[in-house]
Amino acid sequence: MDAHRIRGTWRFDPTVDVPAAVYLCQLYLYSATVLYPMRAVKQLGLFPRASIGKYPARAQTPGQGPFFSRKQQAPISTDLTAKRAQAVVDFERGAQLYEAVVTPFTNPIDAEAIKLISRLIPPAARILDLSCGPGTQLFRLAETISQGEVVGVDLAREMVVGAWQKAQQLGYRNTAFYQADVALLPAQFSAKFDAVHCSFAFHHYLHPVRALKEMNRILVHEGKAFIVDGGTWWANMLASPWARVGDPGWVAFYTGKEFADLFRRAGFTEFYWEELLPGIGIAVGTKA
């Protein structure tokens, strides 16, 4: 709860989302005491890799290259139904805290994820970054594939516009931005992307199989969907009660085995899951 000193007395701000603040503090504590130390251990080659499925092969294509970043000079907005608009409001309750608190938690995990992703995508890959938010991971991907492009999608118009403005300020010319629902992506995206990236957002999706089917639809042959999120049973068990009350729009975390089933139901022919750091994994589905 926020408090302000006024003439020797304390005034408490009742508008502060206490459960969200507590949840974010839990994330920060976990990153400081577990994720950063264990990443150092992993860099020494001492972190045991837990995985499911066969490690995927790199796509034998040069990549789709830039297209949307050359075609679109401004972010594309979409009219939302009342139901989707409410989902945006619910999510944006904690959006202002994202870069200040959530990013320190995601940084070590995203760094490990990008190392794996870069080994599996072609040099001129065209990547769709789902639920891109302010563009934190999107810009990292854009640097990784300077010959390709990254297209950011988010349900919140404010996020899309903000990420586009930041891309212009930082000089990222191989990016484009769309406001869209992950379960109903633009028709012109069909079979246009080498990869889909989704970092710490899948647990918000009300219809996970439908979202995965959309990912499958927009991928080219041998394209890959990468989802970074919770993945071990023990971490999901510990985090779920906190997320239920403190994470706006939270639906569910999934284990590696549950991800395997979701990907299979969505039509992916190959699946791989790996624990990146304690409790957090990356799921990789390959389109036939």
Q: What interhelical angle do 103-120 and 18-30 show, nearest 10?
A: 60
As a whole number, mean pLDDT of residues 104-129 equals 95
As a whole number, mean pLDDT of residues 116-140 equals 95
As a whole number, mean pLDDT of residues 241-250 equals 88
Place of tokens 């490990």: 112
3-state SS assignment for residue 247:
coil
As a whole number, mean pLDDT of residues 19-35 equals 87
* β pairing state of 280-286 and 51-53: unpaired
Instruction: Identify the pLDDT of residue 14.
Output: 46
Quick one: tokens of 81? Answer: 């139904």
Q: Are 83 and 251 contacting, i.e. CB atoms less than 8 angstroms apart? A: no
193 or 100, which is more confident:
193
Reply yes or no on whether the pLDDT at 104 is more than 60. Answer: yes
d(C-alpha 256, C-alpha 282), whole Å: 8
Reply yes or no on whether the pLDDT at 222 is more than 60. Answer: yes
Residue 78 pLDDT level (bands cut at 50, 70, 90):
confident
Average pLDDT, the chain: 88
As a whole number, mean pLDDT of residues 268-284 equals 97
Nearest to 120 by CA among 181, 197, 48: 197
Instruction: Identify the pLDDT of residue 183.
Output: 94
156 or 211, which is more confident:
211
Instruction: Identify the pLDDT of residue 100.
Output: 62
Provide the whole-model pTM: 0.90
User: Among residues of the chain, what percentage have pLDDT more than 70?
Assistant: 86
**CATH class of segment(s) 2-286:** alpha beta
Q: Across 108-156, where does the E strand assignment appear?
A: 126-130, 149-154
Domain ranges of the chain: 2-286
Tens of pLDDT, residues 82-98:
445 555 555 555 455 55
Reply yes or no on whether the pLDDT at 182 is more than 70. Answer: yes
Instruction: Identify the pLDDT of residue 122.
Output: 95
